Structure 1
Amino acid sequence: MDFLVGDYLAGMGVKQLAERYGIHRATVFSHLRRRNVPSRRPGLGFDEKAEAVRLARAGVSMRAIGRRMGVDRKAVRAALVEAGLIMDNTSQRS
């Protein structure tokens, strides 16, 4: 599973790795843990954030964007808040 680790360290997501190697996502995590590979914070990278913004502007829902990119809706929402497309509810409180 050296290739799996290398692909992960090169930036591939867990969902992509699972599909590429024909294994479950939990198995990907197990291999990475066994090899003491530090986990990345889940979310979107710079290019992925730009793509999420582009999709949102095209009318694609946050849930659909998340499914397409292999992250949850919260990660998509955070990217859209950061880009100023939607308001963060906490900033509206006084």
Structure 2
Amino acid sequence: MAQTFLDASQVDELVAMYLGGKTMREVAGHFDVHRTTVAIHLRRRSVPVRRGKLSAAQVAEIGTLYDQGFTLAEIGARFAVGQNIARRAVLHAGGMIRRPGRRAQTTLA
């Protein structure tokens, strides 16, 4: 990704979007920057960062989906979280993380 510098007015807009309810990922996509860049600008402006939390029911569902063969990427997309959050949810639900690689293909009868 090419380095993108935001001017003061763009940072103002970035902060306003985030405070208006957009996620860091959505704001990053709007400005074509990494979400870490968004977090840095928010921290520089002393904007408190929201921490998305999964409910206990969502953690349990994530564990079930992973056991059914869904990948962490698929689960992350379904719950709008990153793969690492999905991984932690699987572990928290008592699951074991599969080895990397292709998942077993299931056949429909």
Q: Secondary structure at the match of 2:82?
A: coil
- Map 1:1-94; keep pairs closer than 5 Å: 1=13, 2-7=15-20, 10=21, 12-19=22-29, 21-24=30-33, 25-40=35-50, 44-46=53-55, 49=59, 52-53=62-63, 55-66=65-76, 68=77, 69-73=80-84, 75-84=85-94, 86-87=95-96
**Counterpart contact for 1:53–1:83, Cα < 8 Å:** yes
% identity of equivalent residues: 31
Higher helix proportion: 1
Q: Secondary structure at the match of 1:45?
A: coil
Larger radius of gyration: 2
With structure 1 as the length reference, what TM-score do the two structures score?
Answer: 0.53
**How far off its partner does 1:64 sit?**
3.5
- Where structure 2 has 5 or more consecutive residues not aligned to the other structure, the ranges are 1-12, 98-109
Q: Which has the higher contact order (CA 8 A, sep 6+)?
A: 1
Distance in structure 1 (CA, Å) of the matches to 2:65 and 2:50: 24
**How far off its partner does 1:6 sit?**
1.0
With structure 2 as the length reference, what TM-score do the two structures score?
Answer: 0.48
Find runs of 4+ consecutive structure 1 residues off by over 6 angstroms. none
**Counterpart contact for 1:56–1:62, Cα < 8 Å:** yes
